[in-house]
Structure 1
């Protein structure tokens, strides 16, 4: 990898997540404008703990393969690196291998010979307990102190890497870096930092482009191109009909941050209090004044998920105007009768299982924060049962079945008929997972918790 000093580095971010798709023409335009590296996020915790707990991808293989085929050919043709972070959605070792298998298939199909590095980020519970005993693991608010058994109960634990393992892979000659769990920004920041760009502008640019076109006036049109130099960075959309504005760029610091002026990375904190956003023309924004404060202690955040029981779901719909006039009272009655029937039927006390009744069409999303008033026209009722085993969860849902079909209010002199969405009404969802780690580890070195493996480029006749 060339490490000669440069005046600027240009990063192409095709979209917010590998497999989400993008117009191929936007990648071609980014290459013509001089992209030095392609970076794309492959995962997220946005969709909940299942993907980490089960080590399963959110995206379909066909969608990931489509995006990778375009990006691998683009990187090979331009002679620039391709970096993918949080492979397989959650960044588990299985996720890295899953993406690597797709890359291998694409390389074979297209006759490419790119050298691939896999960076594994899964953590061993036994090794983490040693660090816990040594006082090197700390809770992040509002999480309490970590107990050793919590680590043992996790089905998968990943460490969230910063840019350093990615840089190590690039410096060792990788053309393609497939990283396990990484900060969304690290994948875009790694190459510019390696080439000597200043940390403040680099991390700020990486934050702005982490979700591709979300910082533009049309997020559906494709990604963006960020050019970082000694004094700041410039950013423009890859689609020439779309614009970046000072507002659309600055607004992205509000996205997924507790503080819109600061963002913590493993090696320090981005500070944008003094950043100035200026329109260079009608579609390009220039940003200067970003700073980065290096931390005294490099840390790695842990993410872990464990099984929190087994779920069975059923869903019915109500249009009866009498019930809907006081839907909360009906929902309370449903909950009460379910508890009574479960104890009468299978002798199960309320501390042995749990369930939620969620009224879609009536405050199911905002709850007590819902500002709208008045009776709804129709409501979907979702019953979600959680129990220590699948059979128990399904038994509770089956006991609730006739209630969700015909439960009248106390003042009704007829049985209403409600409408199940499916037959059978009970849908077994399998194990349900919960996030249980919100802690950081004091690093020995920035790379000591991660493993890098290389695949030599295949040679095709």
Structure 2
């Protein structure tokens, strides 16, 4: 692909995530305005470690196919590249191939012939141990030094790529880039950087468009349209009924960042401390003054997940006013009796299982930070049991079953009847995962940890 510098780059970002859907009229509006690239994120860690640990997507194939059909048609019609990052939610190799397979089917159905690049970001524990031994792996807070055993315990590890592997794929002729785990911003920054746009405005624009319509007054209305040039960028919603304002655009730098003025990327740090946000009209904002400080050492952040055990869930609801008058004491009694009965019936020591009792409707979300006081009207009681195997987790939940249905307070002269949410009451959730890596690797080159395949056939 020709990467000669241009005066501006026009970016269409239809949504914050592939599979979320949008009104096709917003894509048409973007095409009418004129575009140079279509970018969209395919996932994140927002929904927890399960998707990385199990290498499964959170979206359905039909939803991804629907969105890819819209974007592949638009990319072919405008003759511009389509870039998707963090394919399959977590960016594993399986996730990239899953999205690539769906894209291949859609292109056959639509009669499209586009060159597809797959960029794999999954990492091998053995290679990472070599980097660890060489002193090239460093922890990010709050974690400490990485141990080799932690790498070996992970079911899947991905490296979070910057823009460089995407640029290389575009230069090699890719019209569709399906990337593994990538920073949300790298997906939108790659093409403008390749075309010579300055790093400050490019990375800032990429940060603002990453979640589509979230940087507008109506996030549900669709995506955004950004134009990056030598001095800054402009941004507006794709939906004519929504608006970008200086406040909502500036506020997006607060989203998922430790510092609202600085954000680290593999290649360096975006600095927006002196950026200005000016309304050009009632729905378009102009941003200038963004800077990018190149790092002395390029780094790639690691994400890894491992199995912590197997979970069984049980859920009941309490409406009894006597129980609700002191629900905390009732919950403490429940926990005490569960441990006692598990010891009596299953003969399990405390370290052989664990459980959590959560009271939704009473501190279930904020716990001790909950500002409200007074008894609730009704409470959902969720018992979540974790054990080394599914059978043990379910056995503990079954021991707790009579208590979850009929446990009275000491002052009650009768057995209350509570309400299970399902039958059977015990729901086996399978393997549970946890994130265990929050470390960066000093790279040899920006693309050395990633593998790219271009134009090779892929089946769904």
TM-score normalised over the length of structure 1? 0.99
Can you give the 5+ residue segments of structure 1 that lack an aligned partner in the other structure?
none
Aligned match of 1:163:
163
Aligned match of 2:202:
202
2: CA distance between counterparts of 1:279 and 1:231?
16
In the alignment, structure 1 residue 190 sits paired with structure 2 residue 177: no
1:210-229 alignment to 2 at 5 Å?
210-229=210-229
Aligned match of 1:410:
410
Do the aligned residues in 2 keep the contact of 1:312 with 1:386 (CA within 8 Å)? yes
Aligned match of 2:423:
423
For residue 374 of structure 1, report the CA deviation from its aligned partner.
Answer: 1.1
For residue 456 of structure 1, report the CA deviation from its aligned partner.
Answer: 5.6
For residue 241 of structure 1, report the CA deviation from its aligned partner.
Answer: 1.3
Q: Deviations over 1:415-438 (max 9, x none)?
A: 111010100000000000000000
1: CA distance between counterparts of 2:178 and 2:127?
24
Do the aligned residues in 2 keep the contact of 1:271 with 1:292 (CA within 8 Å)? yes
Do the aligned residues in 2 keep the contact of 1:317 with 1:421 (CA within 8 Å)? yes
Aligned match of 1:283:
283
For residue 5 of structure 1, report the CA deviation from its aligned partner.
Answer: 2.1
Q: Deviations over 1:102-122 (max 9, x none)?
A: 000001000000000000000
2: CA distance between counterparts of 1:440 and 1:272?
23
Do the aligned residues in 2 keep the contact of 1:250 with 1:277 (CA within 8 Å)? yes
Q: How many residues align?
A: 458
Aligned match of 1:337:
337
For residue 457 of structure 1, report the CA deviation from its aligned partner.
Answer: 8.7
2: CA distance between counterparts of 1:58 and 1:433?
15
Aligned match of 1:115:
115
For residue 411 of structure 1, report the CA deviation from its aligned partner.
Answer: 1.2
Aligned match of 2:446:
446
Can you give the 5+ residue segments of structure 2 that lack an aligned partner in the other structure?
none
Aligned match of 2:25:
25
Do the aligned residues in 2 keep the contact of 1:81 with 1:175 (CA within 8 Å)? yes
Aligned match of 1:260:
260
Runs of 4+ in structure 1 off by over 2 angstroms are none
1: CA distance between counterparts of 2:137 and 2:374?
50
2: CA distance between counterparts of 1:260 and 1:4?
33
Do the aligned residues in 1 keep the contact of 2:315 with 2:380 (CA within 8 Å)? yes
Do the aligned residues in 2 keep the contact of 1:213 with 1:221 (CA within 8 Å)? yes
2: CA distance between counterparts of 1:6 and 1:406?
71
In the alignment, structure 1 residue 379 sits paired with structure 2 residue 370: no
2: CA distance between counterparts of 1:421 and 1:4?
61
Do the aligned residues in 1 keep the contact of 2:300 with 2:440 (CA within 8 Å)? yes
Aligned match of 1:433:
433
In the alignment, structure 1 residue 298 sits paired with structure 2 residue 298: yes
TM-score normalised over the length of structure 2? 0.99
Q: Deviations over 1:439-458 (max 9, x none)?
A: 00000000000000012699
SS class of match (2:184):
coil
Aligned match of 1:401:
401
Do the aligned residues in 1 keep the contact of 2:268 with 2:292 (CA within 8 Å)? yes
2: CA distance between counterparts of 1:305 and 1:5?
41
For residue 4 of structure 1, report the CA deviation from its aligned partner.
Answer: 2.4
For residue 130 of structure 1, report the CA deviation from its aligned partner.
Answer: 0.4
Aligned match of 1:38:
38
Do the aligned residues in 2 keep the contact of 1:113 with 1:457 (CA within 8 Å)? no
CA RMSD of aligned residues (A): 0.8
For residue 174 of structure 1, report the CA deviation from its aligned partner.
Answer: 0.2
Identify the range of structure 1 (407-416 vs 266-275) with the bigger mean alpha-carbon deviation.
Answer: 407-416
1: CA distance between counterparts of 2:455 and 2:410?
69
2: CA distance between counterparts of 1:350 and 1:410?
25
1: CA distance between counterparts of 2:3 and 2:407?
71
2: CA distance between counterparts of 1:41 and 1:5?
25
SS class of match (2:188):
helix
For residue 240 of structure 1, report the CA deviation from its aligned partner.
Answer: 1.0
2: CA distance between counterparts of 1:436 and 1:47?
15
Q: Deviations over 1:35-71 (max 9, x none)?
A: 1000000001000000000000000000000000000
Q: Deviations over 1:369-418 (max 9, x none)?
A: 11111111110000000001111100000000000000111111111110
SS class of match (1:185):
helix
Do the aligned residues in 2 keep the contact of 1:114 with 1:457 (CA within 8 Å)? no
2: CA distance between counterparts of 1:388 and 1:364?
25
For residue 246 of structure 1, report the CA deviation from its aligned partner.
Answer: 0.1
Q: Deviations over 1:184-216 (max 9, x none)?
A: 000000000000000000000000000000000
SS class of match (1:304):
strand
Do the aligned residues in 2 keep the contact of 1:115 with 1:457 (CA within 8 Å)? no
